[in-house]
Chains A and B, each alone.
Chain A
Amino acid sequence: MKTVTFNNSPVAKKVVLRMLGMSVDKQNYIINTKTKERVLSPMGKEVLLDDFAGMRKGSVIVITKDLPSVLAQAEYANES
């Protein structure tokens, strides 16, 4: 699986989110732009823009910035 990396600025994060049909609400939580529902992390938590580290397609899609979540994504990418 290939990686598209982006720099860590809020602008870059918002561009990536917009590409993938997402945005942030007034409290800076990531939402699905169409449904306006907050997107959940693999841990079932709502995700702030600040904690957003990436996205992949699948049942669990938001990658949060904590190391275990990032390592989980790396394992997934290596297996794909």
Chain B
Amino acid sequence: MNILDWLRNNLGDKSINTDLKMDIATSGKKIVIKNNQAPVTIIQIGGNVTNETLNQLGPMVDKYENKELYFLAEEQDNQVKKVVSTEDNPESKGVMKTFKGVLSEQDMLLLRTGLYIRQLTKSGGNSEEIQKIKHDVWATHGERANNIVNLSSAGYYSNYFRVLYKDLIKQNAQEAKARFLKEHEDIIKNMSLAIFVNSNMGADEVTDKVIKLALRNITYGVTDETITLHAIGQNVKTVEESLKSLRIKFSHIKTKRPLKNINQTVTRIYYKENSLTEEDKTSS
């Protein structure tokens, strides 16, 4: 009796009616398949992993072909379970509920990735894991995706974007989604030169951040012309206060309220037209 017959006679479909764990020795000398719920060795094959051996795993491939099972690396399987359990908190649940059906499915996955990083950071999590997640996102999905993950992990969907979307709904529920997505896309595309003012920031801190970013951009020869300040609600006043100092340093500043009747401002600072002093450079 070969292994395939043995598998069918002894286990039949039972072997693949529950999640399975497949341990494959790095030496390639054996394959051990275990039922996750009751860790019993089902197959143990000595020698090299030959095509014949692989054919003996036929029932699994049949199930795969019928879309009844899929293969996933154990590390990623564990990671998904960790993400799902980490999402069980008021902030993450609130953000996901707000943006489900508003953002695209792909953007929702990026949003969740950022929320997971946020929770890891809050709990003093593994910085190596965080860096790896961020690197993989950037390498696989590019700059735009990276920006969404960064904004999400920094809490901007919990605060800024959520407030913005709720205000838009209050104003005109039918148009809210389209208006939000347009504004969201503008922000994502220009994010590398953006500062989001939050309620913990004072006017001096905003001024300081703009000067630092301007000096960094000049030093590195960044070609973009503007730094953008985003503010909503009470933070609009903070920006207005900050502009009193910023207008002394930068001669060309434009403020817009892109969304009618929403207390939100987008301020573009043409930072290359500046009168920054040596003192600004040394104190930054």
Contacts and interface: CB of A to CB of B under 8 A. Distances in A.
Contacts of B4: none
Interface residues of B, number: 54
A27 interface: no
Given A2-B63, A15-B31, A56 B113 contact: no
B17 A2 contact: yes
A32 interface: no
A62 to B, nearest CB: 10
A8 B137 CA distance: 19
A74 B24 contact: no
What secondary structure prevails in chain A residues at the interface with B?
mixed
Contact of A18 (B19, B54, B65): B54
Contact of B61 (A20, A51, A66, A74): A20
B72 A53 contact: yes
Contacts of B72: 3-6, 53-54, 63, 70, 73
Contacts of B73: 5-8, 12-13, 52-54, 65
A18 B53 CA distance: 11
B70 A67 contact: no
Interface string B92-112: 000000000000011001101
A19 B25 contact: no
Contact of B19 (A4, A41, A65, A73): A4
Given A6-B74, A15-B24, A45-B140, A1 B68 contact: yes
B262 interface: no
B51 interface: yes
Contacts of A70: 72, 76, 79-80
Contacts of A68: 106, 109-110, 112-113, 137, 140-141, 145
Contacts of A66: 133, 136-137, 139-141
Contacts of B190: none
B8 to A, nearest CB: 17
Contacts of A8: 73-75
B154 interface: no
Interface string B44-72: 00000101001001001101111111111
Interface of A: 1-9, 11-13, 15-16, 18-20, 41, 43, 45, 51-58, 63-75, 77, 80
